Amino acid sequence: MFTFGVDSFIWTEKFSEKDLWIISKAREVGFEVVDIYISDLDTFPVRKVKDKAGEAGIEVVTTFGLPEDANTISPDPRVRRRGVPMLKKLVDINYALGSKIMAGIHYAAWGYRSGKPRTDQEWEWSVNALREVAEYAADKGDLILAEEAVNRFETHFLNVAEDAVRYCKDVGTGNVKVHLDTFHMIREEDSFAGALKTCGREYLGYVHVCESQRGIPGTGLVPWEEFFRTAKQIGYDGPMVIESFDPNFEEINRLCSIWRKYADSGEELAVKGLHNLREIASRI
Diameter of the chain measured on Cα atoms: 52
Q: Please name which of 192, 188, 110 lies closest in space to residue 147, comparing C-alpha atoms.
A: 110
Mean pLDDT across the stretch 72-92? 98
Query: Which residues lie across from 4 on neighbouring strands?
Result: 240
Is 268 an active-site residue? no
What mean pLDDT comes out for the span 62-76?
98
- Residue 170 is predicted with a pLDDT of 99
The closest alpha carbon to 150, from 177, 179, 128, 176, belongs to: 179
Q: Quick check: is 243 catalytic?
A: yes
Digit-coded pLDDT (tens) for 8-39: 999 999 999 999 999 999 999 999 999 999 99
Whether 247 shows a pLDDT value over 80: the answer reads no
pLDDT in tens, 132-165: 999 999 999 999 999 999 999 999 999 999 999 9
Round the average pLDDT of the chain to a whole number and report it: 97
Q: How far is CA 7 from CA 3, 148, 161, 208, in A?
A: 13, 15, 22, 9
Interatomic CA distance for residues 275 and 284, integer angstroms: 15
Q: Compute the distance between CA of residue 192 and CA of residue 190 in angstroms, rounded to an integer.
A: 7
Beta strands in 154-274 (DSSP E): 176-181, 204-208, 239-242
The single residue of 59, 122, 148, 189 carrying the catalytic annotation is 148
**pLDDT score of 213:** 96
- What confidence tier does 78 reach under pLDDT thresholds 50, 70, 90? very high
* Euclidean distance between CA atoms 63 and 102, whole angstroms: 6
pLDDT for 265 beyond 80: yes
pLDDT of residue 235: 98
Q: Give the C-alpha separation, 196 to 209, whole Å.
A: 13
Q: Give the pLDDT confidence score for residue 110 in this predicted structure.
A: 97
Q: Please report which confidence band the pLDDT of residue 261 belongs to, taking 50, 70 and 90 as the band edges.
A: confident
Q: What is the pLDDT of residues 31-67, one digit of tens each?
A: 999 999 999 999 999 999 999 999 999 999 999 999 9
In percent, how much of the chain has pLDDT > 90? Answer: 94
Q: Taking the model in full, what pTM does it have?
A: 0.97
- State the average pLDDT over residues 271-276: 98
The closest of 267, 273, 259 to 210, measured between CA atoms, is 273
The answer to whether the CB of 197 falls within 8 A of the CB of 234 is: yes
